[in-house]
Amino acid sequence: MIRVLDILEDTMVDGPGFRTSIYCAGCNHKCPGCHNPQSWAFDGGHEMTTQQILKIIMDDPFANVTFSGGDPMYQAAGFAELARAIHEHTNKDIWCYTGFQFESLIQSDQLELLEQLDVLVDGPFIERLKDPDLLFCGSSNQRIIDVQASLYQGKVVLWRENISI
């Protein structure tokens, strides 16, 4: 089960192209200036099963997937299960936004989810580093990480792709 605030279909702000974004409940980072403070409460939203969320994702054959929140890493087991199901049934890529840093995730219980991701946008939002010109980030301390390349190489590898927006 995953506690979900909302699922937005065909959004273009949470990664490249059209995406189905799952916004989860719960975040202890509580970053000043957060664009989604209503997601901080862990008892917000409603519970959904992996199969319920997967059906919504599969109903749009062209949209990739983003996990956001709140912070999906607080529900790592549920999101890891969902990510495995997405990979089993589709060829969609999966992005995830978190206030945690990659280096701490590889040494934590969240590793199971991290291993299922294609791209991780890591680090807390820092209001004084806010930059509206950044692509897919809110503040300049955040990194867009190619997770699979990073795990393979044993160091952070930044995601790079030529995108026209």
Residue 162 clears pLDDT 50, i.e. is over it: no
pLDDT at residue number 160: 81
Q: Which residues of 61-77 are buried (b: 16+ CB within 10 A; e: fewer)?
A: eebbbbbbbbbbbbbbe
Residue 158 domain-assigned?
no
DSSP state of 80: H
Is 136 among the domain residues?
yes
What's the distance, Cα to Cα, between the start and end of the chain in Å?
Answer: 35
Number of helices (H) and strands (E) in the chain: give both, helices first: 5, 7
Q: Residue 136: which CATH number?
A: 3.20.20.70
Query: Is pLDDT above 90 for 164?
Result: no
The answer to whether position 165 is within a domain reads no
SS3 content of the chain, % helix, strand, coil (to 5): 30, 25, 45
Q: Quick check: is 105 in a domain?
A: yes
The residue segments making up the domain with residue 144 are 2-153
Q: Which pLDDT value is given to residue 141? A: 96
pLDDT level of residue 62 (50, 70, 90 thresholds): very high
164 within some domain? no
Q: For 69-102, what is each residue's pLDDT tens digit?
A: 999 999 999 999 999 999 999 999 999 999 999 9
Look at residue 165 and tell me whether its pLDDT is greater than 70. Answer: no
Question: Is 90 exceeded by the pLDDT of residue 35?
Answer: no
pLDDT in the model for residue 161:
61
Domains: count for the chain: 1
Res 163 pLDDT > 70: no
Q: Is residue 128 part of a domain?
A: yes
The stretch 138-144 carries a mean pLDDT of 95
Which candidate, 63, 49, 107, 113, places its Cα nearest to that of 84?
Answer: 113
Region 4-33: what's the mean pLDDT? 95
For residues 96 and 113, is the Cβ–Cβ distance under 8 A?
A: yes
Query: Are 143 and 99 a contacting pair, CB within 8 Å?
Result: no
Q: Which residue has the tokens 């790079």?
A: 160
Preceding omega of 70 cis (within 30 degrees of 0): yes
